[in-house]
Structure 1
Amino acid sequence: MTALAVGLLAAVLVVAVTRPRGLPEATGAVPAAAVVLVTGLVTTAVAWDEVRELAPTVGFLAAVLVLARLADAEGVFRWAGGVLARRSGGRPRRLFLLVVVAATITTAVLSLDATVVLLTPVVLDTARRLGARPAPHAFACAHLANSASLLLPVANLTNLLALQSTGLPFLGFAAMMALPQLAVLVVEYVGLRWTFRSDLAVDPVGTPTGDAAPPPRFAVAVLAATLVGFAAASSLGVEPVWVAVAGAALLAARTLVTGCAEPRHVLAAASPVFCVFVLALGVVVAAVTEHGLGDLLAGLLPAGTSFPQLLAVAGLAAMLANLVNNLPATLVLLAALGPTPPVGLVLAMLIGVNVGPNLTPVGSLATLLWRRVLAARGIPAPLGTFTRAGLLTVPAGVVGATAALWLVLTLTG
Structure 2
Amino acid sequence: MIFLFTLILIIWQLRGLGIGLGALTGGIFTLVSDVSLMDELRVSATVGNTILTLIALLILCRILDEAGFWRGLALQLTVLGIGQGRLLFLLCGLLGALGTIVLTNVGMALIWISPVMEILCLLRLRAKTVFAVVFTVSFITEAASLLFPVSNPVNLLAVNYGDISGFRYSLVMTPVTFVAIATSLASLWFYFHRDIPVTYKLTHLPPPRQAIRDPLVCRWGMVILASLPLAYWIAQDHALPTWIVPAIAALILLGLAGRGFLPNTTPIISVGKVWQEIPWQLIGFSVLMYGVVLGLAQVGMSHVITHQLDALSSWGLTLTAIGTGFLATGLSNLFQNLPTVLLNAVAISDTTTEPAIREMMEYANVIGCTLGAKITPLGSLSTLIWFKVLARKGLRLHWFYYIRLSLILTLPILFLSLLSLALWFPWLIV
Aligned match of 1:378:
394
Matches of 1:23 and 1:211 in 2, distance apart?
40
RMSD of Structure 2 on Structure 1 (CA): 2.3
Q: Pairwise mapping of residues 274-313 of structure 1 onto structure 2 (< 5 A)? A: 274-301=282-309, 302-303=312-313, 306-313=317-324
Match for residue 186 of structure 1? 182
199-208 or 326-335: bigger deviation: 199-208
- 2:262 maps to none
Give the 5 Å matches for 1:102-251. Answer: 102-132=95-125, 133-201=129-197, 203-204=199-200, 207=203, 209-213=205-209, 216-251=218-253
Note the C-alpha offset of 1:290: 0.8
2:19 alignment partner, one of 25, 31, 42: 25
Q: Determine the C-alpha separation between the residues in 2 that align with 1:20 and 1:387.
A: 16
Aligned match of 1:93: 86
CA distance in 2, matches of 1:11, 1:307: 37
* Contact 2:60-2:249 at 8 Å conserved across structures: yes
- Measured after TM superposition, the shift of residue 100 of structure 1 is 1.2
1:72-122: CA deviation from partner (whole Å, max 9, x where unpaired)? 122220121112111112222111100110111122211112222210011
What's the secondary structure of 2:138's corresponding residue?
A: helix
The alpha carbon displacement at 1:389 in A equals 3.9
Partner of 1:268: 276
Residue of structure 1 in register with 2:263 after alignment:
none
| Higher alpha-carbon deviation: 357-366 or 277-286 | 357-366
Residue pair 1:145, 1:366 contacting (<8 A) in 2 also = no
Partners of 1:353 and 1:241 lie apart in 2 by 22
**Per-residue CA distance 1:142-172 (angstroms, 9 max, x = gap):** 2123232111111211111111234332233
Q: Distance in 2 between matches of 1:321 and 1:190?
A: 25
* Structure 2 partner of 1:8: 2
Provide the rounded CA distance (Å) in 2 between the counterparts of 1:123 and 1:104. Answer: 14
- Report the CA distance between 1:226 and its aligned residue: 2.4
The worse-fitting range, judged by mean Cα deviation, of 116-125 and 159-168 is 159-168
The answer on whether the counterparts of 1:183 and 1:400 sit within 8 Å (CA) in structure 2 is yes
1:348 aligns with 2:348: no
- Number of equivalenced pairs: 406
* Post-superposition CA distance 1:289-324 (Å, at most 9, x none): 111211111111134771110111001111211223
CA distance in 1, matches of 2:371, 2:404: 15
Which residue in 2 is equivalent to 1:254? 256
- Which runs of 5 or more residues in structure 1 are unaligned? 1-6
- With normalisation by structure 1, the TM-score equals 0.91
1:283 deviation in Å?
Answer: 1.3
Shift in Å, 1:380: 4.1
State whether residues 94 and 140 of structure 2, in contact with CA within 8 Å, keep that contact through their aligned partners in structure 1: no
Letter in 2 for 1:22: G
Please list the CA deviations of residues 231-287 of structure 1 after superposition, one character each: whole Å capped at 9, or x if unmatched: 221111111111111111111111111624334334335543333322221111111
Q: CA deviation at 1:406?
A: 2.0
Hey, what does 1:55 align to over in structure 2?
Answer: 48
Q: CA deviation at 1:383?
A: 4.5
2:177 and 2:143 map into 1 onto residues whose CA distance is 8
Percent same amino acid at aligned positions?
23
Is 1:359 the equivalent of 2:352? no
Matches of 1:188 and 1:306, distance apart in 2: 24
Question: 1:3 is matched with which residue?
Answer: none
Shift of 1:27: 1.4
Q: What is the CA–CA distance in structure 1 between the aligned matches of 2:374 and 2:196, rounded to whole Å?
A: 21
Supply the distance in 2 between the matched residues of 1:199 and 1:351 (Cα, whole angstroms): 29
Letter in 2 for 1:365: L
Shift in CA distance, 89/384, structure 1 to aligned 2, threshold 3 Å: farther
